[in-house]
Structure 1
Amino acid sequence: MLIYFCSSSHGFGHAARDAAVLQELRHLRPEWTLVMSSALPAAMLTMLLGDESIQQRPCQWDVGMVQADALGVNRAATLSALDQLEQRLPATIQAEASWLESQGQPVLILGDIPPAAAALAQRLDAPLVWMSNFGWDDIYGPLGDAFHRWADAAAEAYRSGDLLLRCPFDLAMNWGMAEHRLGLVCGRPRAIPPAFEAGLDDLQAPLVLVGFGGLGLSLSSELFQLWPGHHFLLPASAEASSSSELAGLPNLTVLPDGMRPVDVLGRCSRFLGKPGFSSFCEAMAIGVGLHVVERSGFAEASALMTGLQRHGQYRCLTRSDLDTGAWQLDQPLLLPSDAPLSPSGAQDAARRLVEWVGDHF
């Protein structure tokens, strides 16, 4: 059995949750061929997957929204990128279909959530399972006439699927198919190097993980110096897009290359970042409080914030709060209105996929 995962190139969050599900599939079905297809850098996918037996195929399947920075989007650039991708997709679909046919195995296509996954499945006459908390039809639809063609095309593609694995913090996804609702979809923390762990043990301050996605966000060193009683952990990818002076701050540590934020999140008392699916899942699964900066121009953000207030411990920040250092790290966390979500969404997704394959192959 070959599982081929078409993963969105919109940020790192889709790849993180897709990698988590593939890891769980590997545990359940070690004999299956698992493939991750994404345009993200190979080194990033290797870090997320943590398993050399899961193959990589470098393909761009969608655009999503081109981001101006970690908190904003560029609509004009998005439309241009969509036009360009439309010209390239037929060749990508043909090449990947030919490669899959050459493997001589039954194939299941998974999509999170490039509409083009439907065209690949149709070309192969293979079943198609979607996994997501939103579709690009939900995102493009509210953006005006220029995006309506793309919203309609995405909705039509999504309706061709056989099953939807519905993630939490979800938008409508009215695609007319069987659904299976998941809990929090995130990877399991891995062990960190003993020397780095010892350095964290020596710190005499609460740890705060800073996370603004793959693009990062430029934050002035003065802002961190406003909180000398806290020690901040910053992913290496984020540090690259921030001022180099951050690396020299006494109360900030840049994570080593190859170390995922989730691997140290359990050592932290708070997380400071943007609304992001994977960050929310990881923090809620571990029980870490979230200090979240508002995000505009992206419909998923509203669903994420609603889910946060229902199921997480949190503080909500404005962009002005972020830019002035009013991060509220000395304030008590607000409590959720509802019960916590199950932390086993990735395992549940893998089990449901194994069951589905057993019923249909």
Structure 2
Amino acid sequence: MKIYYYVSGHGFGHISRTSVILTEILKHPGLTELHLVSSRVGFIPETHPKLIKRNRILDVGVFQKDSLSMDIEKTKQELIDFEKKKNLFLKEESAYCKAKGIDLIVSDASSLPLIIALEAGIPSVFVGNFTWDFIYRKFANQDSYFANISDILATEYGFATEALVLPFHCPMPAFLERTETGLVGRKPKLNKQEARDSFQFSDEYKYILLSFGAYGLEGFDFHWDKLPDDIKLVAYGVPGLNTDKTIVPNDCHYPDLVTACDYVLTKPGYGILAECYYANTPILYTDRGDFAEYPFLVENLQNYFLSSYISHEEISNCEFEIHFSGIDKAKEKVKVLETPKNGEIQITNRIFEYT
């Protein structure tokens, strides 16, 4: 089987969960070739004789002004430009699929690869926890363009042969076939104590991992003098931080760092939620602007995690301890729900049923 697997480069969750699924696919004896198509192919460091990486952008996503606010106007202009190029992309990619003998297209989470599959005469599978039409429709109250583009994309998603829907999902368009899967996320290689020992963490301190993606903590004005002496902030790949006040580990398996820390401070997204779930690490979460996925992620945080909402002002003032106390009390009183795990196995098995 030859698979064309498109992954959105917008956000951490798409490519991080895909790395887990691809590992499973590459182990399957039925695989002939796996064509990974994304603007972030570099996130997948593995080399494999059956893995072909191709740098290509087939969706727009949402552009950010900083780590906590979105650039709606730039997103609109990029969407307008992308729509002008869509027919060219469709022609080029369907020709590529025909020339390479692709048997199946998988998309996380763009709608265009589903149309490419239709043009190439092959089946397609959507994988994800949201679709872009749902995200853009939130902006329609600011600009009617987003209602129009959402309608177009919702129609395109409808051409998927099947949708494999992940936990923590938002409302979805009307897929012809839909299957809910287990959670997919990168897992730690070490247990809690092994991870803490590997990073030389001391029981004298509480360690908070700052997880804010590519934009780091732009938009925050930290009052470092207010940071309690018994709290250590940990950052890995986060730009714009005062490193005199943070611990910055060397290269590491990030889920092990999630496991080692006592808490993760983040603007919620699928990728970090999945990794905290597998690491069993509580979450301090804050606002992330007028993003349609946010209330659904917060609902899942409240159901499936030990978590606490923390305001931007509290973060800037390093007011963490009240949230530690709230989470400690919840440990004794609240039984969080469980969600099915190891969705990558379920997804891989379903993909190869198309042979």
Q: TM-score, normalised by structure 1?
A: 0.86
Pair 1:70 & 2:67 matched: yes
Runs of 4+ in 1 over 4 A off after TM superposition: 196-199, 335-338
Which residue of the partner structure matches residue 119 of structure 1? 115
Instruction: Give the Cα separation in 1 of the matches to 2:207 and 2:316.
Output: 20
Pair 1:102 & 2:102 matched: no
Instruction: Give the Cα separation in 1 of the matches to 2:88 and 2:113.
Output: 13
1:7 and 1:18 in contact (8 A); partners too: yes
- Percent identity, please: 22
Q: How does 1:229-268 map to 2 (within 5 A)?
A: 229-236=230-237, 238=238, 240=239, 242-243=240-241, 246-249=242-245, 252-257=246-251, 259-268=252-261
What secondary structure, in the 3-state scheme, does the structure 1 residue paired with 2:243 have? Answer: helix
Instruction: Give the Cα separation in 2 of the matches to 1:296 and 1:288.
Output: 24
Structure 1 residue 93: Cα displacement: 3.2
* Alignment CA distance shift 1:224-1:310 (3 Å): farther
Instruction: Give the letter aligned to residue 234 of structure 1.
Output: A
Determine which of 282, 291, 299 is the counterpart of 1:289.
282
Q: How does 1:81-230 map to 2 (within 5 A)?
A: 81-104=78-101, 106-144=102-140, 145-190=144-189, 200-201=199-200, 203-204=202-203, 205-218=205-218, 219=220, 222-223=223-224, 226-230=227-231
Structure 1 residue 55: Cα displacement: 2.4
Instruction: Give the Cα separation in 1 of the matches to 2:188 and 2:3.
Output: 24
2:165 and 2:180 in contact (8 A); partners too: yes
Cα deviations across residues 67-97 of structure 1 (Å, max 9, x unaligned)? Answer: 1222221111110011122233333333333
Instruction: Give the Cα separation in 2 of the matches to 1:51 and 1:224.
Output: 46
2:283 and 2:306 in contact (8 A); partners too: yes
Instruction: Give the Cα separation in 2 of the matches to 1:15 and 1:43.
Output: 10
Task: Number of aligned residue pairs: give it.
Answer: 341
Which residue of the partner structure matches residue 57 of structure 1? 54
Which residue of the partner structure matches residue 8 of structure 2? 8
- Structure 1 gaps of 5+ residues are none
Determine which of 306, 325, 328 is the counterpart of 1:331.
325
Pair 1:353 & 2:351 matched: yes
* Alignment CA distance shift 1:98-1:6 (3 Å): same
What secondary structure, in the 3-state scheme, does the structure 2 residue paired with 1:176 have? Answer: coil
Instruction: Give the letter aligned to residue 339 of structure 1.
Output: L
Q: TM-score, normalised by structure 2?
A: 0.87
Which residue of the partner structure matches residue 270 of structure 1? 263
Instruction: Give the Cα separation in 1 of the matches to 2:346 and 2:159.
Output: 23
* Alignment CA distance shift 1:88-1:191 (3 Å): farther
* Alignment CA distance shift 1:203-1:263 (3 Å): same
Determine which of 279, 298, 302 is the counterpart of 1:309.
302
* Alignment CA distance shift 1:206-1:82 (3 Å): same
What secondary structure, in the 3-state scheme, does the structure 1 residue paired with 2:283 have? Answer: strand
What secondary structure, in the 3-state scheme, does the structure 2 residue paired with 1:3 have? Answer: strand
Structure 1 residue 156: Cα displacement: 0.4
What secondary structure, in the 3-state scheme, does the structure 1 residue paired with 2:319 have? Answer: coil
2:114 and 2:125 in contact (8 A); partners too: no
Instruction: Give the Cα separation in 1 of the matches to 2:224 and 2:34.
Output: 44
What secondary structure, in the 3-state scheme, does the structure 1 residue paired with 2:105 have? Answer: strand
What secondary structure, in the 3-state scheme, does the structure 2 residue paired with 1:35 have? Answer: strand
Pair 1:80 & 2:81 matched: no
Structure 1 residue 281: Cα displacement: 0.9
- Structure 2 gaps of 5+ residues are none
Structure 1 residue 305: Cα displacement: 0.4
* Alignment CA distance shift 1:296-1:202 (3 Å): closer
